[in-house]
Amino acid sequence: MEYLVMLPGPTNVPERVTRAMYTYMINHRSDDFVKLYEPCVEKTKKVFETNGEAVCLSASGTGAVEASVVNLIKKGDKVIIPVNGEFSGRLSQMLSWAGAEVIKLESPPGENASFDKVKEAFDNNKDVKAFYCVWNETSTGTMLNYLDKVKDLTARNDSYYVVDGVSIVGGEEFHMDKWGVDIAMTGAQKAFAAPPGISPICVNERTKKYMNANPPNTMYFNLPRYFKYYEEAKHTPFTPALPLLYAYNEAMDIILEEGMDARVKRHRTCSQALYSGLNAIGLTPFAKEDARSTVVIALNYLDGLEDKTFRNTLANKFRVLVAGGFGNLKGKVFRVGCMGEVNRYHVMRTISSISSALAMMGYETDTQAGLKAAEEKLKSL
């Protein structure tokens, strides 16, 4: 029996996306490749809602994030970034390695730096080069909810606005151009519900001009090279992961067929159902209410519940996969993904399986209460 993959990525992949990979190999310097890659680029731009450039990197999400740093940030540049978990911490480290003067807006795990705190940082740093943020901090189940306001700050001195949306684009409302975002990226294995290995990065026109005029000292993640190859022949500068691009292209079709408004509503509804249902069986969310993610639900472990034993029981007895905690949160929380294909079946089976696993391990739970609470939220689907 196959697993129900309720991780914060990779996620369940629709059968038609998997089938799209079963095809003949082609020449990546041919018209056949153009017929594959050009639609990937154009569909990506539609999902991100941008008129800028899109590059579908053959890399993990971290590769796309690193590309944003090495192509934009130079030694001595001043960068503001909220930091509240593992992935925002990693991005802060990348910026430091690039030579940036990093202004970290730190908050405890489970909370977000407020918009007022971001505004204060801009007020005190008139010469800031860029604002970077991890929109969805998967390590703690938190999500920034003021992305649409940041352009009011970056517009003051034309500083750059970069959104790491690796675990959330395609599952939440995002309007790249309307919100004044200069660079944004995601990972195909998250809310796009495709296999890992393709990570799109979108860059608007003014940022592209800057990158072309100030190319980075790197080869593989050199975005001006990607821009040049695409403009000249609709190719990529290096051999792409061809089977994964076929899968990615199909996943884009599914997203556009559903429509982003309906997709966002489905993700939010399932998220509310998971929070309500899991709370009804006795589990509490880790993140503060005003900071909670709609695509990753982080839950506190019950007293005495051992992480590995619980997750192994869930995987082996019920074929449901959830993730453990990172760093200081290891053994203290577990995380449930709510992205991609997620629907009523995924929600109900996950709640039932978690409740049953807890019962097997000696904890009192009320499975029916959990399912009833979830169903109440799922009525709109």
In this structure, what CATH number is given to the domain that contains residue 123?
Answer: 3.40.640.10
Looking at the fold, whether 86 and 118 belong to one and the same domain comes out as yes
Q: Give residue 127's domain range.
A: 15-258
Q: Name the band, by pLDDT with cuts 50, 70 and 90, for residue 265.
A: very high
Residue count (the chain): 381
pLDDT digits (tens, 9 = 90+) for 141-199: 999 999 999 999 999 999 999 999 999 999 999 999 999 999 999 999 999 999 999 99
Same domain? 248 vs 267: no
Continuous segment of H or E residues that includes residue 314: helix 307-318
Strand blocks (E) in the chain? 4-5, 53-58, 78-83, 101-106, 130-134, 136-137, 142-143, 160-164, 183-185, 198-203, 296-300, 320-321, 323-324, 333-337
Shared domain for 266 and 243, answered yes or no, is no
Token pair listed for 318: 């019920």
Q: Per-residue pLDDT for 10 more than 80?
A: yes
pLDDT at 27 over 90: yes
Is 75 found in the same domain as 62?
yes
SS (H, E, C) 259-307: CHHHHHHHHHHHHHHHHHHHHHCCCCECCCHHHECCCEEEEECCCCCCH
> Looking at the whole model, is its pTM more than 0.95?
yes
Average pLDDT over residues 361-370: 96
Average pLDDT, stretch 203-229? 98
In the listed set 235, 258, 281, which residue is the last one of a domain according to the structure? 258
Mark whether 210 and 178 lie in a shared domain.
yes
Number of domains in the chain: 2
Whether 252 has a pLDDT exceeding 90, the answer reads: yes
State which of 223, 258, 293 marks the end of a domain. Answer: 258
CA distances (Å), origin 172, targets 28, 41, 177, 278: 33, 20, 15, 21
Q: What percent of the chain has pLDDT over 90?
A: 98
Residues 284 and 208 in one domain: no
CA distance between the termini of the chain: 27
Same domain, 288 and 175: no
| Per-residue pLDDT at 326 | 87
Among 203, 229, 258, the domain-final residue is 258
> Is the four-CA dihedral 139, 145, 148, 150 of positive or negative sign?
negative
Instruction: State residue 17 phi and psi, 5-degree precision.
Output: -70, -40
Q: Are residues 254 and 292 in the same domain?
A: no
Whether the CA torsion 281, 287, 288, 294 is positive or negative: it is negative
Residue 290 sits in the same domain as residue 352: yes
pLDDT reading at 1 higher than 90: no
Residue 96 has pLDDT above 80, yes or no: yes
